[in-house]
Homo-oligomer: A and B are copies of this chain.
Amino acid sequence: MPLDLRSLVAPAHTALVTQELQRGVMGDLSQLPALAAGAKDQLPNMAALVHAARAAGVPVLHCTAEQRADGRGGNHNARLFQYMAKTPVRLVRGSEAAEIVPEIEVREEDIVLARLHGLSPFQGTELDFVLRNLGVRTIVGVGVSVNVAIQNLAFDAVNAGYQMVLPRDGVAGFPREYVEQVFAHTLGAVATLVTSEELLAAWR
């Protein structure tokens, strides 16, 4: 464990942000099988981190992507949205696909921030504002995907002055080799990369 990880993620100024840990994104109803396969392996680590965060008094915020049944308010300006719009399972608000996976579960003390638009849990959402009100300066991120939203979260967090911490085994993307490349050539430059075991130790 980096010598100062314990202070970097001290509960008084840290939040755990889960990114799209939803049944229709990376769970049993996922329309992106390669993503779901990668996430399945990491899900126990993600769940362990969520439980440890709660036990340590670290606020847990769940960021989710949703759609209205009529689609209003959503984006259409990228291939990703067009692909998702054609799949049989859509992330309709209130549907099973939009739910957080049962391994994570949402507790009453957690904060859920759902959005209709965009790629990032940060832009046009309450995340930054709620984190400021909570006194948070370090964000630990878990979830999907390393291809897009985890990178977007890390960039946004750094732009907004936060320390960004990512457990290599608590985020998922595809293909697996690409995830390693992103750690090496992008995320390593902007975030502190650790293992979930190191984080669990820091919060024990």
Q: Which residues in A have some Cβ–Cβ distance to B below 8 Å?
A: 59, 68, 70, 72-80, 83, 109, 111, 115-120, 123-130, 132-134, 147-148, 151-152, 155-156, 158-164, 173-175, 178, 181-182, 184-186, 188-191
Nearest CB of B to A104, in Å: 19
State the 10 A-B residue pairs at the shortest beta-carbon distance, nearest first.
A124-B129, A132-B161, A118-B159, A73-B130, A123-B159, A80-B189, A117-B129, A152-B155, A78-B190, A178-B185
Q: Which residue of B lies closest to A75 (CB)?
A: B133
Q: Which residue of B lies closest to A128 (CB)?
A: B124
**Cβ A185 vs Cβ B175 within 8 A:** yes
**Cβ A120 vs Cβ B155 within 8 A:** yes
Given contacts A147-B186, A148-B186, contact A130 B155 (CB under 8 A): no
Given contacts A78-B190, A134-B73, A147-B185, contact A118 B125 (CB under 8 A): no
Number of copies: 4
- Distance in angstroms between the alpha carbons of A99 and B181 in the assembled complex: 31
Given contacts A79-B189, A124-B125, A151-B151, contact A161 B181 (CB under 8 A): no
- Distance in angstroms between the alpha carbons of A149 and B19 in the assembled complex: 21
**Cβ A78 vs Cβ B186 within 8 A:** no
Q: Which residue of B lies closest to A162 (CB)?
A: B77
Name A123's contact: one of B78, B111, B129, B173 (CB within 8 Å).
B129
**Cβ B78 vs Cβ A119 within 8 A:** no
By a CB distance below 8 angstroms, the chain B residues around A74 are: 133
- Distance in angstroms between the alpha carbons of A128 and B73 in the assembled complex: 10
- Distance in angstroms between the alpha carbons of A158 and B132 in the assembled complex: 11
**Cβ B151 vs Cβ A186 within 8 A:** yes
Q: Which residue of B lies closest to A149 (CB)?
A: B155
**Cβ B79 vs Cβ A117 within 8 A:** no
Nearest CB of B to A85, in Å: 13
By a CB distance below 8 angstroms, the chain B residues around A155 are: 119-120, 148, 151-152, 155
Q: Which residue of B lies closest to A118 (CB)?
A: B159
